[in-house]
A and B are shown apart, each in its own frame.
Chain A
Amino acid sequence: MTQGLGLILACEAAVANGARVGYFDTRGRFPAMTNVIEFPPATKAMFGRFRDSSRAWDGTNPVSLRTQELVRAAHSHPVQGVTEQPGVRHAGLCDVEAPLWIAAASSLAAASQQPHTVGLPAAQGHTPFLNPSHRSGFQSFNNTYIVV
């Protein structure tokens, strides 16, 4: 299924909780790149705290500074690279591909072919990125979170 998808993993890094985040260059399928992030429980809880803060927000204290804690946390959970697999193409080095990216690419490809099943617009559209119909986060496979 992942053969010949032609999706490029434009960049990646390890972020808070050691979760890997990657940007697939999905321009042409979707209106922008697509952010894929591993979704361990700590990350899910962190996002939940942010969301809950928003629900209760009265407009005061609009910015909370975060420390380097999340960068340190990323350093303390080094990503283990695995050998290259077909389906996802790095623009350069191809030595750190991982099943996550293969699964993500497969999911994105499926989403672009069946946009309505995940609440996404047709890939050919030129709708502004922040059009409400675009703002759809979805969990489509184990432990990985995609934001379009």
Chain B
Amino acid sequence: MRELSRTLGAGPWFLLERGVFPNQLDQGQPSTKALAIAMGYDGDIQIEIIKQLDGSASV
């Protein structure tokens, strides 16, 4: 977030520190990935940073 604010001027950021969203399917299989999600704007461009918090396979 700091880097994108510095380089693009994006922000402020709206951060969900940890979320396990329902109805997840990953490669067609049920999944319970925990994610941290930060969302901010650079002008009209939306920027979303997603960090996976558990050890399951990434998409």
- Seen from chain A, the residues whose Cβ lies within 8 Å of a Cβ on chain B are 9-15, 20, 23, 33, 35, 47, 50-51, 53-55, 57, 59, 61-66, 68, 70-71, 74-75, 78-79, 90-94, 96, 135, 137, 147
Q: Is the interface of A mostly helix, strand, loop or mixed?
A: mixed
A50-B46, A54-B10, A94-B28 in contact; A13/B21 too (CB < 8 A)? yes
Whether A11 contacts B16 by the Cβ 8 Å rule is no
Q: Is the CB of A70 within 8 A of B11?
A: no
Count of B interface residues, CB-CB < 8 Å: 34
Given contacts A11-B59, A54-B40, contact A64 B25 (CB under 8 A): no
B19: chain A residues at CB < 8 Å are: 68, 70-71
Known: A50-B41, A92-B28. A65 touches B12 (CB 8 A): no
